[in-house]
Amino acid sequence: MSCPICARDRDAKYAPFCSRRCADIDLGKWLNGSYAIPAAVTAEDDDDEAPNHPPLPQQ
């Protein structure tokens, strides 16, 4: 198996990466949102955005 970042042979110490550098690059992609797991929006998700109480009267 090769490193998913640079395609070099992987190192068991940093598996599945070849080096700490590639492992850190991958972590950075997760932290900045470059990687995302797609999710379908459901009606239940829409309900979460609506307030659970009536609006407050205006003064």
pLDDT in tens, 16-45: 999 999 999 999 999 998 988 888 877 766
Residue 10: count of CB within 10 angstroms of its CB: 17
* 33 marked as part of a ligand binding site: no
Does 46 or 18 have the greater pLDDT score? 18
Predicted pLDDT of residue 3: 97
Known binding residue 22? Answer is yes
Cis check for the bond before 38: say yes or no (omega within 30 of 0).
no
5 carries a ligand binding annotation: no
pTM of the predicted model, to two decimals? Answer: 0.60
Q: Give the chain's length.
A: 59
Those residues whose C-beta lies under 8 Å from the C-beta of residue 1, and which sit 6 or more positions away, are 10, 16
Half-sphere exposure of 24 (CA within 13 A, CB side): 3
The answer on whether 3 is annotated among ligand-binding residues is yes
pLDDT of 51 higher than 80? no
**Spatial contact of 17 and 23, defined as CB atoms under 8 Å apart:** yes
